[in-house]
Structure 1
Amino acid sequence: MLSQSQGGTSSSPSGTAQILNQRILKAYESLGVARELLKFERMESLPQGTVVSWVGTFPNRKGVKITKFSVTPSRSPGGIERSEEKSILLEFNGSTLSKVESEIKTANYATEDTTLVRMTDNTPLDNNVDDLLIYADRNGRAAEYPLNYLPDEGVSRERSEFKKEFYLKLIEDFFIQVLRIQEMQNQQSAKNQKKLLQTFKESLEY
């Protein structure tokens, strides 16, 4: 899938390609809700296997990075067969989403294979999805190229397949993750406020 073919840079994308581009742009727009996470000084609660880090310091943060970890145990007690790390970095210029960088790292401990795929869109709101920059590394052999290097005409639809089966699923999954994290913070904040109110009421009962 991640070949460096330079074919298929058609100036008029097919109907399917246009639909995929619009879905990705819509996902970018939805991911803008992650800016709400910047207002929390710290994360009170997170889904299992999830870590949140920041770009900048509170209260002047410029972005958030969400990382999800998962492992597949091996048959031997306490062993790990495979590990996977998925992350998305969302940076903002004021209220505008200015950068989307997603990454998948995998390690297969049985075969000693390691892979890294990083996708960076430095202009997520410019209506051009094909300028997405892809960096791929497998066992130390790396390549970097823009998405429009993948062919997308005739019978060769690598670019559309990459968007549909890989990139779009990844960023839509992270949008759901952002909503979960935001909901968990709001729930925890409500619990803390209720607890504070109860403490205040008890202090008045004398």
Structure 2
Amino acid sequence: MFWWRRDIRPGVTAAFTQLAAGNLAFHVGSDDDGVRSHRSALAAAVDAERVHYMEQVHGSTVVWAEEGGDAPVADALLSRGLPVAVMVADCVPILLAGQFADGSTAVGAVHAGRVGLAGGVVRAAIEALRGRGVSDIEAWIGPSICGHCYEVPASLRDEVAALVPGTASTTSWGTPALDLPAGVMAQLVDLGVPGHTEAAACTMEEARLFSHRRAPGEGRFAGIVWSRG
């Protein structure tokens, strides 16, 4: 089921699924019953009545799960401890945890693809948490395509690098590339948020993870974070 799962704080768990957990996205393929079954199995695995998902659109909109209804259009989903998830297959999944002034837990799931990262989704999510009085925020970066595999035209690399310093890269075969995880980490550092990469891996290179570039339309894995309190 899980690529990586860890108690990141007392009473708070973060995890990333892998290919064996099945496709978790309705917008990929046509087996909706299969997606429902996979989502039910994931909810059971994290001992939750339900997992909150979002309709990701490569933007920078942030929504609180308690206020957004079912599958809100957003690329950052926050909550007061409810299980929230982000689905990816090359984009960078980021899981967040922090603390409200009353001591309760805040968690978040962020979808940082090339467009969303350049559009400020990471900053938007952190600012939304801080706007609710959340402090002691940390981030866990999950598997995504790495800077040695994400080939792009030179003009696109330069355009993104101008907006997100640290993203310019070169593939292992010598062509222009983008390093989105490095860009995420650079933004977290700028925001004063500790970033953890122990769950990171390259989706293009790791066959146990979904990758849109390696196998288009095959599926999406999820990053999920929740409070057990």
**TM-score, normalised via structure 2 length:** 0.26
Structure (1 or 2) with the greater helix fraction: 1
Higher RCO structure, 1 or 2 (CA under 8 Å, sep 6+)? 2
**TM-score, normalised via structure 1 length:** 0.28
